[in-house]
Structure 1
Amino acid sequence: MLVADGWWQSLFSSIAAIAAILPGAGVPAVPLAPQAPTRAARSDGWAGSWAAAVTEADKTGVSATGVANTTLRQVAHLSVGGGSVRVRFSNRFGTRPLVIGRTTVAPRRAALAGTPTVELLQLVPLTFGGRGSTTIPVGAEAVSDAVALPVAEDSDLVVSTYFPQPTGPLTQHPAGCATAFSADGDQTGSGGAPYRKVAGTARYVVDGVDVRGDAEGSVVLFGDSITDGASSPIDKNLRYPDQLADLLLTRGFGALNIGIAGNRLLANGGTSGEAALGRFDRDVIRWPGVRSVVILEGINDIRISRGSIPATQLINAHRQLISRAHAAGLKAYGATLTPYWASDQYTVGGEVARQALNHWIRTSGEYDGFVDFERAVRDPKAPLQLLAAYDSGDHLHPNTAGFTAMARAVNLDLITR
């Protein structure tokens, strides 16, 4: 054990004192602002197959400068397959109307991951209201027309988008764990030769792919960097949501990774995204065929506040997310926060808050069920820390083996019922 006996006893006395008040009515819920509840989108045979939560642009790089007379080629790794697809494009954080020129999509197997290569005969153009281009107002999204295009489950869809005019700062997903490519001019109908790698792993503008087929629906995985896949190898699709997606295919369900690195429940964070309370409806409820959401949020509120944020405040935020999911007709499942002993910004007060929140998630009954990620990845001999075999090295983020343990800890019967 890495802690002194007296410190250990003091910590768990504090945890027990807080936990004692959590399951019942002793913690008042924060009232929701009166508003018409958002309802989950009707599926009409459609299901979300891939998604990325978006943020504002960085201070430097492609998202900051934008592009002009440039084609961006990006890869979406699909969960469920089907016979038709449509693609979603976001200008949520743009500063000017975004002109999208010609766009093509092409299916391919994952063997070509990390490359811009496609088969020319498989490239299919997208349209928007029957037109080959569209303009997206600031703060808005565009969804392409459906195109008949068979795509396999657990496969790549390559999306090539030509931006003919200066875009200004681009709406992005900063840590996409995938390589993007760019080429001068309109190269939407070209193979891989004209393209070069874009620095970093961000995704730009493209934020969702819907597939029409036989899927039962989709599950949203909502969270921060652990959901987003920090430490996961690039272009390998080994984040916990990726691995869970493979398991969910056995039940006919898609999986949508809506994690953002650095995201918090209660505070906006620039490229760490809007607060979970602010982005929940847009990032969870709007997807077609969504049936449930797994929520793993709160560790960054704890860390950044240096443990000063009370567990009751985190619990009330979770209660709001539960209420909004239920109002939309979705099941909501809480995920226990994983250990962060010895990581940057670790504090005793933060540990107390983490343990208290986890106790509430497990015992309150307010969620429709819970996923015990803490138990899946902690060291059974030193339960305040990650098991060494699952530690990426920063004592906060699990590695690939840890992500495997997380995916396997999810009760598929529970989240697809």
Structure 2
Amino acid sequence: MFTTAWTASPQLPSEGFTPNWSREGFWRQSLRQAVRLTAGGGRLRIRLSNAYGTSPVRVAGATVARAAAGAAVEPGSIRRLTFGGALKAAIPARGHLVSDAAELAVGARETVTVTLHFDAVTGPATFHAQAFTTSYRGPGDLLTDPTGAGFGEVTESWYFLAAVEVDAGRADGIAVFGDSLTDGFGSAPGTDRRWPDALARRTGQPVINAGIGGNLLLNDSAWYGEKGVRRLGRDVLGHLGVDTLVVLLGVNDIGFSETDQQPTYRPAPVLQAAELVAGHRDLIRQAAAAGLRVAGATLVPFGGSGHWGEHAAEVSHELNEWIRCSGEYDAVVDLHRVLADPADPDRLDPAYDFGDHLHPNDAGHEVMAEAVADVLQAGQ
């Protein structure tokens, strides 16, 4: 039985937060991407997404290998991937493509690389904007290049790659669903210290990260992905081996109306707590219908950030109180409490503040993982 061991939620090609290759796409190039798995097994396969492509994307070849330093891979570990027995395939427009399983023994928390070769123009690429790890591009067919020397360009996004599945035979996976707080902003790039990574280490269970930086619960965005109530089915319920969902979402719905930095909303909608509660209830309903246990996390303190203001304070307090007290979530993780400054509970504890008064640093991500693990394990 296959289990999803890693994911990246697909996004519309866009400029995003940092320079990336999503709008230009790829042609006569190879792309090597490194991902850290949260479950191990003897075989693995990949899922490629062309969710936002209007034409099929031709994949001229694909390989998987154990990662080494930089773009290099472990000698002797490269495996050719096939698709229905063929070395070449096309990702359908608005669709996805799953490879055949390749024989490669991998362990939980091991990093693997997936290399894709594109011999035809891909057009704009469905991608995940904020990887917080390095991906590599080079000219020509570099599928079996073990040294990585041919990969001369770098980015911090993932392209087309939506999941890695392993034959772990497990059905106890945890999906975490949210925005940049879950996607990993504030954690040190290249270190896999996002709180979902730390949660996998603490629990020993498969954990898939379905966060998108800037994502909203109730509204689509050109940069920040489809709204949470719509994308849950694809980004969580469509994956294998998940039995628990953790939701941390809503701070952008509240905070975008307070900030001048609104690249996709001018002006941003001003929402009330009741609207956000209705969105959370929609997520609970969808997940419960799929048989998942659902835990709700309170919004972290964000006083003093660009998202903060009188309205944001009122709505965030009301939403957090509903999450804590309504009884509608199967379990509650009070991240607001564990991350709050003892001197001002509306602000992040300085020890956990990345510097923008909204995103936790590495220590804060570790505290978040500890709090989630404690609640989930107490309920087992």
TM-score interval, normalised by the smaller of the two chains = over 0.9
C-alpha contact (below 8 Å) 1:181/1:196 kept by paired residues = yes
Residue 73 (structure 1) aligns with: 32
Q: For 2:197, what is the secondary structure of its paired residue?
A: helix
Q: Deviations over 1:163-208 (max 9, x none)?
A: 1100000000000111000111110011211112323x11000010
Checking the alignment, whether the CA contact within 8 Å between 2:3 and 2:170 is kept in structure 1 is: yes
* Structure 2 Cα separation of the partners of residues 120 and 258 of structure 1: 32
Indicate yes or no: 2:202 matched with 1:247: yes
CA distance in 2, matches of 1:362, 1:197: 47
Q: CA deviation at 1:412?
A: 4.7
Conservation of the 8 A alpha-carbon contact between 1:128 and 1:145: yes
SS of the aligned residue for 1:62 comes to coil
> Could you say which residue in structure 1 is the equivalent of 2:21?
62
2:189 counterpart of 1:217: no
Give the match for residue 302 of structure 1: 254
In the alignment, is residue 266 of structure 1 matched against residue 218 of structure 2?
yes
**Whole-angstrom CA distance in 2 between matches of 1:363 and 1:277:** 22
1:161 maps onto 2:123 in alignment: no
The one of 190, 207, 213 aligned to 2:145: 190
Equivalent residue pairs, number: 365
Give the one of 94, 98, 108 matched to 1:143: 98
Corresponding residue for residue 241 of structure 2? 289
| Structure 2 partner of 1:380 | 342
Partner of 1:32: none
- Report the counterpart of residue 53 of structure 1 in structure 2: 9
> Where does residue 25 of structure 1 map in the other structure?
none
- Alignment-derived partner of residue 295 in structure 2: 333
Q: Which amino acid aligns with 2:43?
A: S
Secondary structure of 2:203's counterpart equals: helix
Partner of 1:107: 66
Going by fraction, where is helix more abundant, 1 or 2? 1
**Is the CA contact 1:371–1:411 (under 8 Å) kept in the aligned structure 2?**
no
Q: CA deviation at 1:119?
A: 2.4
Give yes or no for contact 1:89–1:141 (8 Å, CA) kept in 2: yes
Residue 214 of structure 1 and its aligned partner are, at CA, apart by 4.3
1:414, distance to aligned residue in structure 2 (A)? 2.5
Distance in 2, matches of 1:61 and 1:216, equals: 35
The 8 Å contact of residues 263 and 300 in structure 1, kept in 2 or not, is answered as yes
In the alignment, the residues of structure 1 paired with residue 89 and residue 3 of structure 2 have an alpha-carbon distance, to the nearest angstrom, of 24
CA distance 1:268–1:341, shift in 2 (3 Å): same
Determine the C-alpha separation between the residues in 2 that align with 1:309 and 1:118.
48
Pick from 161, 166, 171 the counterpart of residue 126 of structure 2.
171
Structure 1 residue 317 and structure 2 residue 279: aligned?
A: yes
User: Share of identical aligned residues, percent?
Assistant: 38
Partner of 2:356: 394
Aligned-pair distance for 1:347? 0.9
**Deviation, structure 1 residue 216:** 4.2
Work out whether residues 103 and 160 of structure 1, in 8 Å CA contact, stay in contact via their aligned partners in 2.
Answer: yes
Inter-CA distance 278–216: structure 2 relative to 1 (3 Å threshold): closer
Give the deviation of 1:271 after TM superposition: 2.2
Q: Whole-Å Cα distance in 2 between the matches of residues 119 and 348 of structure 1?
A: 54
- Whether 1:369 and 2:331 are equivalent positions in the alignment is yes
Q: Conserved in 1, the CA contact under 8 Å of 2:65 and 2:77? A: yes
Query: Is 2:229–2:283's contact at 8 Å kept on the other side of the alignment?
Result: yes
Q: Which moved more, 1:273-282 or 1:209-218?
A: 209-218
* Distance (Å, rounded) in 2 between the aligned partners of 1:83 and 1:93: 32
Q: Give, in whole Å, the separation in 2 of the partners of 1:414 and 1:399.
A: 23
Q: Deviations over 1:306-325 (max 9, x none)?
A: 39311010001000000000
Aligned partners of 2:296 and 2:331 also within 8 Å: yes
The one-letter code matched in structure 1 to 2:197 is D
Q: Classify the secondary structure of the residue corresponding to 1:120.
A: coil
Q: Which amino acid aligns with 2:335?
A: F
With normalisation by structure 2, the TM-score equals: 0.93
For 2:28, give the aligned amino acid: N
SS in 1 for 2:317: helix
Maintained 8 Å contact 2:351/2:363: yes
The answer to whether the Cα contact below 8 Å between 1:228 and 1:259 also exists between their aligned partners in 2 is yes
Moved more, 67-76 or 370-379: 370-379
Q: By how many angstroms is 1:133 displaced?
A: 1.2
Asked whether the equivalents of residues 51 and 258 of structure 1 are also in contact (C-alpha less than 8 Å), the reply is yes
Q: Does the 8 Å CA contact 2:91/2:97 hold for their aligned counterparts?
A: yes
Q: CA deviation at 1:231?
A: 1.9
Q: After superposition, give the CA deviation of every residue in 1:108-135 in whole Å (9 maximum; x if it has no partner).
A: 4xxx45x101123110001110101111
Q: In 2, are the aligned partners of 1:68 and 1:166 still within 8 Å (CA)?
A: yes
Q: State the distance in 1 between where 2:144 and 2:172 align.
A: 32
TM-score (norm 1): 0.85
Name the amino acid aligned to 2:7: A
Higher relative contact order (CA 8 A, sep 6+): 1
Task: Kindly provide the CA deviation profile for residues 36-84 of structure 1, in whole angstroms up to 9, marking residues without a partner as x.
Answer: xxxxxxxxx2211000001011246411101101000001100111111
Aligned-partner Cα distance in 2 for 1:95–1:408: 42
5+ unaligned residues in a row in structure 1: which ranges? 1-44
Q: Is the 8 A contact 1:95 1:169 kept in 2?
A: no
Shift of 1:95: 3.0
Partner Cα separation in structure 1 for residue 245 and residue 298 of structure 2: 14
